Every structure is written in C-alpha cells, then in structure tokens.
Structure 1
Amino acid sequence: MAFTLEVVGKGFRLKGADNKREIDVSPAQAKAWQEILDRRAREQGLKNSEELLANVKIAVPEAGDSQFKIGKQYELSDTDTMLMIDGNVQFANPDLIDAYHEGSLNPDFVLVPTMQPEGAPSAIDAIKAPASTPDGRKDAVKTYLGEHSGSVEERTNAAVALMDSRADFGSPELQAPRLKEIMDVLVEPHEGEDARKKIVDALKQHSWSSTDGKAMDDKGMDDKGMDKLISEHARAAYGIQ
C-alpha cells in the first residue's frame, strides 16, 4: 500500500499505511521533492507546495500500487477516484506508476483530494434546501462566488469547491441539474451542451494553471470578466472549440 508524504520541519518523510513504517528522506531528496511539489501546486492553480499540502494528501506508491488502489486506500468513492485520476495529468496511464525506491529524487507523487475550500458547504446547503427555487439557488451561487472574488484563482477554487463530486445536492438525479445551474451563473451559455459539459469537466478537474499570462492581469476586473477569463483558460487548456 502507498506511503503518505508528511512534512517534518523543512523536510519530508514517508509514512506507511500501517502507521508503523517511517522513512526519513535525505536533504537532497527533500530539495528535489520541494521543487516537484511547487510545480504540482502551480499546475493546480495554487501558490506553492504549502498551499497544495493544505488541500490534498500526497501518496507515494509501493510495488503493485495503481491509482485505483490508492483511491480505495484513502477511502475515496469511485467517482472521486476517477476525478483524482483525471486531475493527476502527469500520468499517461493510471496503472503505470512507479514504486518508490530508496534515494529517489523524482518519485511518482499521486495527489489525493481531501477537502473543499472553506465556504462551499453553506452554499451547497442553500442550493439543496427543499424550499429552494431556481432564482434562490442562483442568488446563493452568486453570493458565494461574490465572497471569493479577490482574484481569478480564488474565484476558480471557489467554483471548483462548489462543483466537487462530494457535494450533496439531495437526491442523485439532482446532481447534474444543480451543476448546470452553477455553471449558468459562472459561465455564460456557450454553443451546445457538449461544449458546456467540457467546461464543467475542465473546471472540476482543475488541472490547468490559471497563474500565467493574462490570468494574472485581473486587477480591477469585475466578476463577469473573471468568469469569462476562467472559461477561456478552460477552453484553451482542454482544446474546447
């Protein structure tokens, strides 16, 4: 079973799934791993590895591990496991991850989702309330996103949290309609449901970087401008026409 990466001071160690085995890594490994994790954080639209580790667990595979097995180890649902696999874009095949070997400077790090950014649960409660109306749900989404509009990155993270597969919108058949309602607020309608679905999937995976180029030029941009920019980045990263 996979090791879990733990931060120890300015370094790292690996802890076995049985909570008994621990492997301290060398300073050279720690330096190389820090660079990798900082890069993974930027790919997720986060500032650095510290912010990354506040939102995910890092699994390091042993012999025989796959991402599917890691999902079960961390008690993810099948849906969340698939989202985890989609988000770990560094692996061409979820089964082809390398087992850790002593002294490795470039191990296969698997990012395992663990939590939603603060604020999403209350918005979800408002959306799924039995007495909610379409206009009421729209207002709840607008209010929630409006509280997370300090930057494109912050607003995107808020949208991703709201659409997280662990969100309980009530009965299962309400999941897809509620996600569409959220997207109706976040992204203006595009030509065809297929294009809309791709944008939804891109934002849910959140494996594209919104920290380069035009995304950083968001000073004074209103919510509509941010939403347009988020949509454009999702389209560019995933080849959405």
Structure 2
Amino acid sequence: MAFTLEVVGKGFRLKSADNKREIDVSPAQAKAWQEVLDRRAREQGLKNSEELLANVKIAVPEKGDSQFKIGKQYALSDADTMLMIGGNVQFSNPDLIHAYHEGSLNPDFVLVPTMQPEGAPAAIDAIKAPASTPEGRKQAVETYLGKHSGSVEERTNAAVALMESRADFGSPELQAPRLKEIMDVLVEPYEGEDERRSIVDALTQHSWSSEPADGNAPDDKGPNEKNLDDKGMDKLIAEHARTAYGLR
C-alpha cells in the first residue's frame, strides 16, 4: 500500500498505511521533492506546494500500487477515484506508476483529493459553537453520520472528516474531548465487539494530519501549539476505546 507524504519542519517523511514504518528523506531529496510539488501545484492551478498540501494528500506508491488501489486505500468512491485519476495529469496510464525506492529524487507523487462528505461543515460549526451543549453536539454528529450509514466503513470514513477538522473545534484544549464525543456517537449503534474494534482499527490506521490548532506553521513549536499529531491521535483513540468501550 502507498506511503503518505508528511511535512516535517522544512522537510518530508513517508508514513506507511499501517503507521508502522516511517522514512525520513534526505535534505537533497527534500529540495528536489519541493520543486516537483511546486510544479504539481502549478499544474493544478495553485500557487505553490504549500497551497497544494492544504488541499490534497500525497501518496507515494509501493510495489504493486496503481491509482485505482490508492483510491481504495484512501476510501474514495469509484467516482472520486476517477476524478483523482483525471487530476493526476502527469500519468499517461493510471497503472503505470513506479514504486518508491530509497534516495529517489523524483518519485511518482499521486495527488489524492481530501473528500469531505456532505453535511460535515454544518456539523463542525455545531461542534465548535461557543454556546454548544453536549446534547446539541451529539445531535449534530448523529444527524451528519445518519447521512452516511450505508456500512460501518462508510460511517467511519464520514466520521474521519469531522475528526480531521479538529483545528476548528475552538481552543486547543477542546480537541480531545470533542474527538471523544465524535467517537462515542460513531460507535454507539454497534454493540458487537468485532464491529467496534473494526472502527477503532480503522481510526488508528488513518494517517492523521497535524495542522496546528492555533494556525502556526507546522515547524513553529510556539507555546500555543497544542494540537494532536498522528501519534497523539492514535494514543487518544486507543485509550478512549479501552476506557469507554473495554477494547484492548
């Protein structure tokens, strides 16, 4: 499965889909990759790589990957996968993408759109409203997830769109409790341990973005930056699953 490209300070690293492998790239690679991503941004009508990374995820293929497989990995619908393929104008064939190899200065970057399911903005507004109540937030999340209840997978993917928007929950101190509230609404309909565990596993396997809650740049470790990074998210999810649902 494809790696996800992450920004680390002024450089990059690759994270595997199972979150068990991380590859830090060299300064020479980072410089070359920056140039490639700036070019990809211009092809998309964007100003630079910073603007590009604010709108898409970047997948870097492993052996056997294709754009179709990458679309499935990132939980895109068939229609959204075709849109993704159409947007990656650098590939003449969606299957002809090359596996990453160590030291590569010009890997095949696949731009994966960040799809926000219908209803998410309204739910986020309700969650972050200063005068919101626990019951009001729960109702907003229930209403939103109710539109995406075709399967456990669909419901979980929809919840990710809310949890990925944690920078909008208000003050940084509200991130963890709001995320727990969303998790509770997400798993509430499922009493079976296997179904609940599949949801928790899907959440911990997701590659979470780590945009600062206070709007600082990713390499700005100022005193107000208290956002949850990928490992912090995994810890919060696992601990809440254990204490709230008895899952170990």
TM-score, normalization by structure 2: 0.47
TM-score, normalization by structure 1: 0.48
